[in-house]
Amino acid sequence: MQEHHIPHWAALALAGLLAACAAPAPAAPPTPAVQDISLVALDIYWDQDVIEAQANQPLRLTLRNDGALDHNFEILELDISVLLSPGESEVVEFVVGRNGIFSYLCSIPGHDEAGMLGELVISDQ
Ligand SMILES: [Cu+2]
């Protein structure tokens, strides 16, 4: 029954305050910068052995197969596996939430042994 002690103008002000609280926040947090990285598969190697990126920032990895063979980009630890036919390209977007070195390779038999492997190095700097 406390409402009875609140003056009418105060109740209106309170209602206004509650409405303001329910409204969406005026300033949205800044959108994290997307890190655009390209990796090209060739016969039989990747065009890069090391990829560096930041933790907790969206990573947009564009994979392209410029070879004449199938290649399959794979990062086991991140559960990423992308099969690329010759001439094909595909974009994978993901975020790595911690620092570390994540090995990538081509999982087509024999290709990693032939040198189709590299490291995705994630840091927070
Ligand atoms: Cu391959």
Ligand 1 centre to CA of 46 (Å) is 8
Please state the length of the chain.
125
29-33, 51-55, 94-98, 107-111: least confidently modelled range: 29-33
CATH of domain 35-123: 2.60.40.420
Q: Which residue in this structure is represented by tokens 């042994």?
A: 113
% the chain with pLDDT above 90: 72
> What tens digit of pLDDT does each residue of 89-110 get?
999 999 999 999 999 999 999 9
Ligand 1 centre to CA of 69 (Å) is 7
Ligand 1 centre to CA of 59 (Å) is 22
Ligand 1 centre to CA of 65 (Å) is 9
Q: Which residue ranges make up each domain of the chain?
A: 35-123
Ligand 1 centre to CA of 54 (Å) is 26
Confidence of residue 1 (pLDDT cuts 50, 70, 90): very low
Please report the pLDDT score of residue 22 as a whole number.
57
Confidence of residue 13 (pLDDT cuts 50, 70, 90): low
Ligand 1 centre to CA of 57 (Å) is 28
DSSP class per residue in 86-110:
TT-EEEEEE---S-EEEEEEE-STT
Please report the pLDDT score of residue 72 as a whole number.
98
Ligand 1 centre to CA of 113 (Å) is 10
DSSP annotation of 3 reads G
Res. 55: pLDDT tops 80: yes
